[in-house]
Amino acid sequence: MEKEYVVGVDIGGQSTKIGVVDRRGNIVCQTVITSKYEADQGDIFLKSISDTILKLTEEVGFESIYGVGIGAPNGNYYRGTIEDAANLPWCKGKVVYLADTISSQLNGIPVTVTNDANAAAVGEMTYGAARGMKNFIMITLGTGVGSGIIVNGELVYGHDGFAGELGHTCCVRENGRVCGCGKKGCLEAYTSAIGVARTAREWLEFSKEPSLLRNIEEITSKDVYEAALEGDKIAIEVFNYTGKKLGEKFADFVSFSAPEAIVLFGGLARAGKFIMEPIREAMEANLLSIWKGKIKIIPSALKESDVAILGASALAW
């Protein structure tokens, strides 16, 4: 039987998505299970993943599965592990040998692990906006800022498997905001969805400008986007500032790997021209002349709801 499917598993803090995907990137079937297990319940969770894969693949036949790809926070490709993931209680402060365990529970099928942003990059290269590209950088703008770097058609894993943490490069050197990682001034602290909401709150406090956002109690980045759509001055300025911070750092990233494109994925990337124009402007202003006008910035071509499974599944090919 030809092995014409792969399984993609995306492990998040709350839930884990599992899907069967064909070579063209169609999700044949999918399901969701909970990720909420306590510190001593890691074994139970992994068994639940394996059992769900067995059940989900019954229809296409388990023998037609080429392999399993898993995207997870702090996923390590070299070791097939998740290591000290703060938002997964069953993996906090320890190393979980995910690939070996699940592979042995599934008759030795190949299992590949990496972090979610790396998985998204491979998904984009296999099925999405970066098809045919050999050098690009994927930036995921969500609760955090993740990245996956493709050089010569392959993910950059680095010496230890943890390369590509561009959300934790420095964008404000002096008196920068404290980031979730404990460092100060990280890109993520300014340009994640949480960073955008924080910028809005700070600016409302220090300005007297009227704003639609003043009526909202717990401002989210979505509120800022909706206010910008209404022409709200502060909301638009917040996106300008966020885009500037991203664009400035993108110019640094280009100096590193000279990518054909930077592909943006996630909630913030959907803010369209409000964010894309300031990003482009700041990047161009900071690029070496050899790269001016040559680096594309493009949004992901994958459906938001599909990308987690597609990205993880693409690892398995």
Site for a copy of itself in 81-100 (CB under 8 A): 83
Amino acid present at 287 = L
CA distances from 262 to 108, 151, 300 (A): 36, 12, 10
User: Angle at the Cα of 32 (from 127 to 99), degrees rounded to 5?
Assistant: 70
Minimum separation from the CB atom of position 152 to a copy of itself (A)? 7
Q: What x-and-dash track marks residues 224-253 binding a copy of itself by CB under 8 A?
A: ------------------------x--xxx
Interaction of residue 24 with a copy of itself, rule CB under 8 A = no
CA distances from 26 to 31, 147, 296, 312 (A): 14, 24, 27, 13
Candidate residues 162, 201, 203, 204; the one interacting with a copy of itself per rule CB under 8 A: 162
The two tokens of residue 286 are 């900071």
Interaction of residue 203 with a copy of itself, rule CB under 8 A = no
Candidate residues 53, 121, 145, 166; the one interacting with a copy of itself per rule CB under 8 A: 166
Candidate residues 75, 146, 164, 266; the one interacting with a copy of itself per rule CB under 8 A: 164
Interaction of residue 161 with a copy of itself, rule CB under 8 A = yes
Minimum separation from the CB atom of position 237 to a copy of itself (A)? 18
Candidate residues 14, 58, 173, 206; the one interacting with a copy of itself per rule CB under 8 A: 173
Interaction of residue 284 with a copy of itself, rule CB under 8 A = no
Candidate residues 51, 160, 202, 304; the one interacting with a copy of itself per rule CB under 8 A: 160
d(CA 244, CA 38): 41
Interaction of residue 30 with a copy of itself, rule CB under 8 A = no
The two tokens of residue 44 are 């139970």
Which residue's CB is nearer to a copy of itself, number 236 or number 258? 258
The two tokens of residue 185 are 């001034």
User: Angle at the Cα of 11 (from 8 to 96), degrees rounded to 5?
Assistant: 105
Burial class, 265, CB count within 10 angstroms (exposed 0-12 / middle 13-18 / buried 19+): buried
The DSSP 8-state label assigned to residue 107 in this structure reads T
Amino acid present at 229 = L
Site size for a copy of itself (CB under 8 A):
44
Piece in contact with a copy of itself (CB under 8 A), picked from 119-127, 165-173, 218-226, 307-315: 165-173
Q: Which residues contact 8 (CB under 8 A, 6 or more apart)?
A: 17, 18, 19, 21, 68, 69, 70, 71, 119, 308, 309, 310, 311, 312, 313, 314, 315, 316
Q: What x-and-dash track marks residues 113-152 binding a copy of itself by CB under 8 A?
A: --------------------xxxx------------x-xx
Residues that bind a copy of itself (CB under 8 A): 83, 133-136, 149, 151-152, 154, 156-166, 168-170, 172-173, 181-183, 248, 251-253, 255-260, 286, 288-291, 294
